[in-house]
Amino acid sequence: MFVELLSALEMLISVANLVAIFAGVAFGVFMGAIPGLTGTMGIALVIPLTYTIEPITAFALLLGTYKGSLFSGCIPAILINTPGTPAAAATVLDGYPLTQEGRGGEAMGMALWASVIGDTISTVALIFGAILLAQLATRFGPAEFACLVLFSLTIVAGVSGDSLIKGLVAAAVGFIFGTVGLDPMMATPRFTFGELTLLEGISLMAMLIGLFAVSELFIQSEAAVGSIKKIIVPKARISWGQIRAKLPTIARGSVIGIILGSIPGLGATPSAFLSYSEAKRASKTPEKFGKGSLDGVAAAESANNATAGGALIPLMALGVPGDVVTAVLLGAFLIHGLAPGPQLFAENLDLVYAIFIALLIAALMLPVIGLAAIRLFSRIVMIPQYILYPVIAILCMLGVYGFNSSTTDLWIMIGFGVLGYGMRKLSFPLAPMMIGFVLEPIGEQSVRQALTISSGSWWIFTSSVISVLFLVLTVLAVGFISLRTIKDRKQAAIQQSR
């Protein structure tokens, strides 16, 4: 191993490769910070530029773009309540309230360092546990996925705010929207109303920007322009003491991100929400979540960035992409004549180690580029709102249209903006709808596949240790939520009696 590491260092350490990593991270940060311009789009734009360069330089550029975009989606989420990427939707829950309190600098500083730590931990896990974790991921069949989704639904309780009933209603509505498109088993259209562009389902990006960004624009437009308070965000200053206090939360989020990221089909969004929910469950002050908690930001961002290493595990070890971004990266490998999987380790071990080292270097470059990006984008909120919000509206439309080049997505964005506005007015939480929408396709397909395999027998969901483990965790989570709800009601009753 030592010889291979030296060979990898010799292959990687050159001015061209280091510049490629730096340029990739910087470009990824830019793509993630603009709503609608995701890391997937960034990598797709970069791939044509890598056709004529050496494979290690190409992957240094591509992986740097991947790493940078995962972090920077939190910047608009914190500053203007508009997630730059789908995974940053969990960061909105506490990041934007912190900005409204004048603590946006703290929020972005915590997001940056949680991202760096989570990123580094996941890369180390990739280096030392790729084969082991990839083998664990292959043990997930339809029954295991179904039980995992069932457990993940307990996240709804953690992001429902003051009313669990409203959170469950919102999640149910999200489930309904998740059924739009082709039936996962029969491939027949459902709720498409003859619209061909809906055959692939409702665009996640259109829904995300509509729910969070457009609804926020509607809320802000109700206020007179002269009465809107301009928020000045300070530099991203956060003490090491604050970071050390959040290390348990960051570590837990990193583990969640690595594990869920390594399971093909899940990705960063469920990981961020699950980490957020677990942080709230473990917190001594859960009532602060959703109102401006640094723990919430740390939990979401650490899990979000840790999925990078997790998603690369099945790609590198088995040749199976863990999410949409790694599916695009798989194409890049094939373009350069490399087939990810066990054979890649056998025939190009020095290249594999060079990629691992490039990932670590990208994580180390992120603080420098991230701090510069935070200082740059922090000036956004210093722009008067009567100028800022029309510009945001235009960027939202460009981002949504550019994602799929579909005018239908623009109407979907506006529709969800109106729906999100109505939900906010009626105090319905938005995050549970997003969770239900994301989990529905995975859950429905897994349940139906499992029941098909077992000829309709529900015992298949207790046929493996992994399934039983998630079922037990679900029961424990529901019990904990019930006890906490009863306790909160008793405390509210005592306060009212006083």
Contact 246, 114 (CB under 8 A): yes
Residue 236: per-residue pLDDT: 52
Distance separating alpha carbons of residues 299 and 278, to the nearest angstrom = 8
Distance separating alpha carbons of residues 324 and 437, to the nearest angstrom = 17
Amino acid at position 192, single letter: T
Q: Report the DSSP pairing between strands 189-190 and 181-182.
A: antiparallel
Distance separating alpha carbons of residues 155 and 175, to the nearest angstrom = 14
Average pLDDT over residues 186-206: 83
Distance separating alpha carbons of residues 44 and 398, to the nearest angstrom = 17
- DSSP assignment of 384-414: -HHHHHHHHHHHHHHHHHHHH--HHHHHHHH
Contact 28, 42 (CB under 8 A): yes
Helices then strands, each counted (H, E), the chain: 23, 2
What percentage of the chain exceeds 90 in pLDDT?
Answer: 4
**Distance of CA 405 to CAs 86, 202, 211, 408, Å?**
18, 14, 20, 9
**Distance of CA 411 to CAs 194, 197, 247, 386, Å?**
16, 12, 42, 24
Which of 29-33, 106-110, 237-241 tops mean pLDDT? Answer: 106-110
Distance separating alpha carbons of residues 314 and 261, to the nearest angstrom = 9
**Residue 29: pLDDT over 70:** yes
Mapped onto helix, strand or coil, the DSSP state of residue 189 is strand
Q: Considering only residues 449 and 230, tell me which one the structure prediction assigns the higher pLDDT.
A: 449
**Residue 228: pLDDT over 70:** no
Distance separating alpha carbons of residues 295 and 303, to the nearest angstrom = 12
**Residue 320: pLDDT over 70:** no
Contact 365, 371 (CB under 8 A): no
**Distance of CA 83 to CAs 53, 94, 133, 257, 269, Å?**
34, 12, 30, 19, 11
Structure token pair of residue 211: 């729910």
Contacts of 120 (CB under 8 A, 6+ apart): 360, 363
pLDDT tens-digit series, residues 140-162: 788 888 887 887 777 676 667 66
**Residue 497: pLDDT over 70:** no
Domain ranges of the chain: 2-497
pLDDT tens-digit series, residues 406-449: 888 889 989 999 998 899 888 888 878 877 887 888 788 889 99
Structure token pair of residue 267: 């990705």
Residue 322: per-residue pLDDT: 61
Contact 91, 299 (CB under 8 A): no
Residue 133: per-residue pLDDT: 60
Specify burial of residue 427 (Cβ count, 10 A radius: 0-12, 13-18, 19+): exposed
Contacts of 58 (CB under 8 A, 6+ apart): 20, 50, 332, 336
Q: Considering only residues 471 and 486, tell me which one the structure prediction assigns the higher pLDDT.
A: 471
Amino acid at position 434, single letter: M
Where are the alpha helices (H) located in 225-348, listed in sequence order? 240-245, 247-261, 268-282, 294-318, 324-335, 342-347
What 8-state DSSP symbol labels residue 460? G
pLDDT tens-digit series, residues 48-94: 777 778 888 888 888 888 888 888 888 888 887 877 777 788 888 88
Residue 22: per-residue pLDDT: 92
Provide the Cα torsion 473, 475, 479, 480; round to 10°: 10
Residue 419: per-residue pLDDT: 93
Long-range contacts of 238-247 (CB under 8 A, 24+ apart): 238/105, 238/106, 238/109, 238/110, 238/113, 242/106, 242/110, 242/294, 243/110, 243/113, 246/110, 246/114, 246/294, 246/295, 246/298, 247/117
Distance separating alpha carbons of residues 101 and 99, to the nearest angstrom = 5
- Note the residue count of the chain: 498
Amino acid at position 220, single letter: Q
Contact 188, 182 (CB under 8 A): yes
Average pLDDT over residues 375-404: 73
Give me the chain's average pLDDT, please: 80
Q: Considering only residues 37 and 195, tell me which one the structure prediction assigns the higher pLDDT.
A: 195
What is the pTM for the complete model shown? 0.70
Q: Considering only residues 386 and 452, tell me which one the structure prediction assigns the higher pLDDT.
A: 452
Residue 197: per-residue pLDDT: 81
